[in-house]
Chains A and B, each alone.
Chain A
Amino acid sequence: MSGADHIILLSGGLLLVSILAGLVSSRVGAPLLLVFLGLGMLAGEDGLGGIVFNDFQGTYTLASIALAIILFDGGLRTPLRTVRAAWAPSLALATIGVLITAGLTGLAARYAFHADWPTALLMGTVVASTDAAAVFLLLHQHSLDIRRRVAATLEVESGANDPMAIFLTLTLVELIAHGGSKGLNLDADLSVLAMELGYRFLLAFGVGASFGILGGMLLGRLVNRLELAPGLYPVFVVAGALTLFGATQVLHGSGFLAVYLAGIAAGNQRLRANTLIRRFHDGIAWISQIVLLIILGLLVTPHTLGPYLLPGAAVAIALVLVARPAAVFLCLTFTSFRLEERLFIAFVGLRGAVPIYLAMIPVLERLEASQQIFAATFVVVLVSLIIQGWSVPWVARWLDVQIPPAPEPTNRLDVNLPSQMDREVVGYTIKDGSGALGKTLAEMKLPPGTRLLAVLRENYVVPDRALADFKADDYVLLISPPEHTMTLDRKFLPKRRSEREKEMTMVDFSFPAAAPYAAVAAAYELPMAPEDQGRSLADVILARLKVAPVRGERVRIGEAELVVMEMDGVNPSAIGLRLEPPPPPQAVTRLRSSLLWAHRRLGLGRLRLRRRRA
């Protein structure tokens, strides 16, 4: 049938064009998601394609699947150490942060759109969650090496706040739509309403979290137990994730939370066919991404956006400049993030497909103001993608949150051994600039538990005894415990010497993490607190940070700065000393002093209060 053929031609073509356009966009630095969205709009009714597409119901279903897959994939690639480094701030941002953002943005929407309170709050809620996909892509696309804990917080937050925003949106929509009919009754006692809301919240997140974690672990077990054709493992995993999503949703849990946690739980086990599963997921996450944004682009009718452009932009600006920073600063009050890091986290609250997806819910529920909400959301997302998406690399540089880039493991081969074996086989081609060039095996000082399997040179295997040193284009195969593969990367991969690395002031001296702090402090006039006596450099950093350290972490000590240079598993192994850390940008200094001033004023206020009570 020609109808089907046309659809296939169209979808295939759109996918192809998207991928190619993505290639171009990374050259010009345009946010990839914006390109996909733009392509969808271009293909749509007001664009060149002229495709009229208004199937909200179908889109919603498809988008749910796509989102579930993206979140699951996001979980899969989130190592536990990322979660460990960032769970507390991320959790605060994903719960209270979403509420604050939603409330403040709602306030802005009320005035920008002259909307009634429920509609305005719904608008605020819909755009309250940062987009996991957008954040991941943005950080990776510009190959930004952001300080690990900042990046980890942004990543975990963006995955974890989607379920919260979805829950809030559904609840609000229900409150507005069937205010009097179903379980939620606006006319009822406030306490009854609060009870009902609390019950639903617990149900959604309790069921979601427990199903997610248990389901993810079970999924991992099953993969390791079942004997399947290799190609079926990834499919099995996706099927499992979608089943888990559906089952959780049917039981009124948050399916999105479930798949995200399931991804983390499954991804941090040693899985059989690990590489296959990851590659496959990489692919379908991309497809989901592209499909989601193109369809959303198709769905919108650009010429109807006109009247919403200005108020939408106003809401977007309120969101970026007021609501998000307020939420971030409040949620991160008790963390050890520096002011620059807080500012960066506040700035990278990117909105992506999730808000548009959420904006479909009011449309499906036929809320009165649904068209307004959908249009406004679309404008907010566009503005966010354009402004934030484009400026992030610049802002990262300005706020000095970047870290020296890690060697790129692109020249590394990973072979996955049967599960439960705590070893990985890795392979490297020795290239120009590699630290191994010209070294003998003994000089390489391989990490413990690591063994050289073979060296391939010009199509033959170099016999152990004949191996004098490593030469260019040698192919080296090693077997190693997984925690040491980063160390191997450093030893065998060429050192990337980018402009940025040069320009970023590196540390002056570096020390083993176990070096006694007292000795270092004495040599470099660092302040010595009594409790630092007997501590190693690593201990001092840990005591100052109060959270699991990650590579690139910096701690100001006196005039100098200690930097975590290398990690061995979860512990710092090398620590650098920067004698003259660069001063923060002037604007940041000014902001810091005005914040301090405000803080003092607040303190004064509290003091007065106490006095009055006395």
Chain B
Amino acid sequence: MDITSLISPESVVPSLKATSKKQALQELAKYAATLTGLHERAVFDVLLERERLGSTGVGNGIGIPHGKLPQLTRLYGVFARLDRPIEFEAIDDQPVDLIFLLLAPESAGADHLKALARVSRLLRDKSMCEKLRATSTADGLYALLVASEAQAA
């Protein structure tokens, strides 16, 4: 699963401003809506529903909100680096400042899971996170995320 097939330089947000988890998800839904052409509200609802099951704050300041939308035709990712860490109900109770949003079509099946596993593995890499936190431009972040591909392959 290629990271490049999930995100493009346009889907990287270098400094997202949000003060709460809800606001962050709303902002991300807005970005996702412009990328996918879906309704902002629909994206937000799917994400919120998933969060109700259990927070996608996986620890170490990382959040991976995700969900399935029937209207999509392919997988979409949005990567955001937050201005300030926010409370995300993460499993380690630590605030979150790096978010990778992943949206999948209802029928994506195994591809969706592979993409999720890929993203989760990528952001579990501590040195990668440090580099992402130290980078403030969209192009720089995109380059980092994509460069990981070469190493992982």
On A, residues with C-beta under 8 Å from B are 435, 439, 443, 445, 491, 495, 502, 505-506, 508-512, 515-516, 519-520, 523-525, 559-560, 574, 579-580
B116 touches A579 (CB 8 A): yes
Pick the interface stretch among B3-11, B52-60, B75-83, B136-144: B52-60
CB distance from A503 to the nearest CB of B (A): 11
Residue from A508, A523, A525, A580 in contact with B50 in the complex, judged by beta carbons closer than 8 Å = A523
Q: A435-B92, A506-B124 are in contact. List 6 more A-B contacts (CB 8 A).
A: A443-B93, A502-B126, A508-B120, A509-B58, A509-B120, A525-B110
Residue from A435, A502, A510, A560 in contact with B54 in the complex, judged by beta carbons closer than 8 Å = A510
CB distance from B77 to the nearest CB of A (A): 15
- 25 A-B residue pairs with Cβ-Cβ distance under 8 Å, sorted by A, are A435-B92, A435-B94, A443-B93, A491-B93, A495-B92, A502-B126, A505-B121, A508-B116, A508-B117, A509-B54, A509-B64, A509-B120, A510-B54, A510-B58, A511-B53, A519-B53, A523-B50, A523-B53, A523-B67, A525-B113, A559-B110, A560-B113, A579-B114, A579-B117, A579-B120
- Bound-state CA distance A509–B53 (Å) is 11
Chain A residues near B110 (CB, 8 Å)? 525, 559
Closest chain B residue, CB of each to CB of A495: B92
Closest chain A residue, CB of each to CB of B49: A519
Residue from A508, A559, A560, A580 in contact with B58 in the complex, judged by beta carbons closer than 8 Å = A508
CB distance from A101 to the nearest CB of B (A): 42
CB distance from B53 to the nearest CB of A (A): 5
Task: Check A435/B117 contact, CB under 8 A, given A502-B126, A511-B54.
Answer: no
- Bound-state CA distance A559–B113 (Å) is 10
Chain A residues near B67 (CB, 8 Å)? 523
- Bound-state CA distance A435–B109 (Å) is 37
- Bound-state CA distance A595–B116 (Å) is 34
- Bound-state CA distance A508–B56 (Å) is 9
- Bound-state CA distance A423–B100 (Å) is 43
CB distance from A504 to the nearest CB of B (A): 11
Interface string of B116-150 (1 = CB under 8 A from A): 11001100101000000000000000000000000
A525 touches B54 (CB 8 A): no
Chain A residues near B112 (CB, 8 Å)? 525
Chain B residues near A445 (CB, 8 Å)? 93
Residue from A495, A505, A524 in contact with B113 in the complex, judged by beta carbons closer than 8 Å = A524
B68 touches A574 (CB 8 A): no
B50 touches A435 (CB 8 A): no
Does B91 touch A at the CB level, under 8 Å? Answer: yes
Closest chain A residue, CB of each to CB of B115: A579
B91 touches A574 (CB 8 A): yes
The 3 closest A-B pairs by CB, nearest first: A511-B54, A579-B117, A508-B120
CB distance from A611 to the nearest CB of B (A): 43
- Give the interface size bracket for B toward A: 20 to 34
CB distance from A514 to the nearest CB of B (A): 10
CB distance from A570 to the nearest CB of B (A): 21
Task: Check A515/B53 contact, CB under 8 A, given A435-B92, A508-B58, A525-B110.
Answer: yes
B54 touches A580 (CB 8 A): no
A579 touches B113 (CB 8 A): yes
Interface centre among B50, B68, B91 (most CB of A within 10 A): B91
Chain B residues near A579 (CB, 8 Å)? 113-114, 116-117, 120
Closest chain B residue, CB of each to CB of A508: B120
B116 touches A435 (CB 8 A): no
B109 touches A525 (CB 8 A): yes
- Bound-state CA distance A515–B50 (Å) is 11
- Bound-state CA distance A468–B58 (Å) is 27
Chain B residues near A519 (CB, 8 Å)? 53
Chain B residues near A559 (CB, 8 Å)? 110, 113
- Bound-state CA distance A580–B152 (Å) is 15
Closest chain A residue, CB of each to CB of B119: A508
Closest chain A residue, CB of each to CB of B67: A523
- Bound-state CA distance A273–B146 (Å) is 60
Residue from A435, A511, A524 in contact with B93 in the complex, judged by beta carbons closer than 8 Å = A435
Closest chain A residue, CB of each to CB of B87: A443
B53 touches A520 (CB 8 A): yes
Chain B residues near A524 (CB, 8 Å)? 113
CB distance from B124 to the nearest CB of A (A): 7
CB distance from B84 to the nearest CB of A (A): 15
- Bound-state CA distance A317–B113 (Å) is 45
Chain B residues near A439 (CB, 8 Å)? 93
- Bound-state CA distance A141–B41 (Å) is 55
Chain B residues near A515 (CB, 8 Å)? 53-54
CB distance from A537 to the nearest CB of B (A): 9
A510 touches B91 (CB 8 A): yes
A580 touches B117 (CB 8 A): yes
CB distance from B71 to the nearest CB of A (A): 17
Closest chain A residue, CB of each to CB of B109: A525
- Bound-state CA distance A512–B68 (Å) is 21
A523 touches B68 (CB 8 A): yes
- Bound-state CA distance A339–B58 (Å) is 30
CB distance from B127 to the nearest CB of A (A): 11
Chain A residues near B94 (CB, 8 Å)? 435
- Bound-state CA distance A605–B112 (Å) is 45
Chain A residues near B53 (CB, 8 Å)? 511, 515-516, 519-520, 523
In chain B, residues 79-112, which have Cβ atoms closer than 8 Å to a Cβ of chain A? 91-94, 109-110, 112
Interface centre among B54, B68, B110, B124 (most CB of A within 10 A): B54
- Bound-state CA distance A560–B110 (Å) is 11
A509 touches B109 (CB 8 A): no
Closest chain B residue, CB of each to CB of A502: B126
Chain A residues near B56 (CB, 8 Å)? 509
CB distance from A276 to the nearest CB of B (A): 35
Chain A residues near B92 (CB, 8 Å)? 435, 495
Chain B residues near A443 (CB, 8 Å)? 93
- Bound-state CA distance A82–B53 (Å) is 31
Closest chain B residue, CB of each to CB of A560: B113
In chain B, residues 39-69, which have Cβ atoms closer than 8 Å to a Cβ of chain A? 50, 53-54, 56, 58, 64, 67-68
Interface centre among A443, A502, A525 (most CB of B within 10 A): A525
- Bound-state CA distance A523–B116 (Å) is 11
- Bound-state CA distance A502–B129 (Å) is 14
Closest chain A residue, CB of each to CB of B68: A523
- Bound-state CA distance A579–B116 (Å) is 8
- Bound-state CA distance A213–B93 (Å) is 43
- Bound-state CA distance A579–B102 (Å) is 15
